[in-house]
Amino acid sequence: MNVKLPSPLVFDCHDNRDASRSTVGYGHQTCSRRCSNGLRPIFFHSPVTPRRLWATTKLYLLPFMPYPTFSGYIYVPLALTLLPSPSILCSFDGRTQGRDEDLFWSFDVSASVSRRSELGSGFNWESWRQQGGWYNFLKDKVSDIANAGVTHVWLPPPSHSVGVQGYMPGRLYDLGASKYGNQDELKALIGAFHDKGVKCVADIVINHRCGDKQDGRGIWCIFEGGTDDARLDWVLRRHRQPRHRRGLRGGPDIDHLNTQVQRELTDWLNWLKTDIGFDGWRLDFAKGYSSSIAKIYVEQTQPNFVVAEIWSSLAYGNDGKPAYDQNGNRQQLVDWVQQVGGPATAFDFTTKGILQAAVEGELWRMRDPQGKAPGMMGWWPEKAVTFVDNHDTGSTQRMWPFPSDKVIQGYAYILTHPGVPSIFYDHMFDWGLKEAITQLAEIRTRNGIHSGSALNILASDADLYMAMIDGKILTKLGSRDDVGNLVPSNFHVVASGNDYCVWEKR
């Protein structure tokens, strides 16, 4: 809604439940500037009523008062008008409709919420091999992970699995059969992270499931939940050739439209929270079931954090290189997050793909035609989990690895930019990058950089990328040393290395 006000107060009147209206990406207008208070102005063209405003803001402040606009009245919670204006107002120039002198004001309700989150990957593809158990081994790394600013640590699938890594699950309640350790060891690890203020995210694999026993036909279609009762004890009545993930066989897709399935999986997820201590979910292969199904599980389990693996390939040109326009891919990520709602986020595969191509002498890729970051981060940074590699793309699988000699450049980017950055275990502990990564994370924390921080891209050439974040830090990638007058005199270097540098405001 575009609104002209006689005095500076108006709301982003976005109703998230209106799935027919795209609210991020092409379906809205967003000012490229932010105020000093970090609020991002957004305009929506939709009718405003007390009900819509109530559903949108969730501030639950009464009474509502009518506020005059050029097109009628909007209804604003009276209590909000009493707040100090610096905490709620955001003004900017250049957004006009009709007459040139029009000035618009906007308040993004979600922007007032703290968004300092950082994800740490707590395993790799070979962690199951660890002598003495991975859970026990990782306990010695808890302090290092917490010191790197990590707020949430992503742990491997906890249940019994036909595949040793945990991604072919069977008896979901049976945590003692995991190759990573037993249930008590897992709870002790989670407790150690909680003691450091770090929340734990379980890797949830519910696209498919492996049978525990064969029937009289020799088909693995009898599923057991891993308890003494009938929870998650299923029988596959009709056998058909299932779709398989990454070439693996033996795990038929789960029928999430079945209400018993929904109820029992929800109970299992809530058990992981209440009995084991998990705080959130990483949804493995989330493309395997609809966003409406994911929404059910998220709403019924109320996790603190949710991130989805929606791995989509980039669009490529005739030269075999990533196309400059990746809007289709980032729109897919945005759509999923919007449809699931709540705490849902998604791994920003679009940013990863573009960034790992850009650091190979093509840094011009790091600014889209609107001057924004080119991945999901450019459209909805608060919901974009940025990463360099994980157990699939890197580790021993190397399905889509970041250039190994430029990994620290990747971290210089994601740890200083908007979005929710994710640190891969291997890079932190096996590649000798712990000190450099921790230094970058400390810069992020010290300057209050968060998922919704303001990004101003100053240069994006083949050999030079420079950006100012929140007016507090400058980040440079690329081989060019001469950056002209892009660095203000009151900034000084606080981190540097091969083809990257970070300055901080004095």
Catalytically active residues are 284, 309
Continuous H helices in 82-158: 134-139, 142-147
175 near 166, Cβ under 8 Å?
no
State the amino acid at position 302 in one-letter form.
Q
Q: Are strands 305-308 and 344-347 parallel, antiparallel or unpaired?
A: parallel
Contact 253, 243 (CB under 8 A): yes
- Residues near 504 by Cβ (< 8 Å), separated by ≥ 6? 443, 446, 447, 472, 473, 474, 491, 492, 494
315, two tokens: 């669009």
> How many other β-carbons are positioned within 10 Å of the β-carbon of residue 364?
15
Contacts of 448 (CB under 8 A, 6+ apart): 116, 470, 472
Going across the sheet that includes 213-214, the strands are: 213-214, 220-223, 234-235
**Residue 457 token pair:** 């891209």
DSSP symbol at 477: E
Q: Specify the amino acid at residue 91.
A: S
- Give, as one character, the DSSP assignment of residue 365: G
Q: Kindly report the length of the chain.
A: 506
Is it true that the peptide bond before 63 is cis, omega within 30 degrees of 0?
Answer: yes
Question: Crossing angle, helix 291-301 and helix 327-340, to 10 degrees?
Answer: 40
> DSSP label at 127?
G
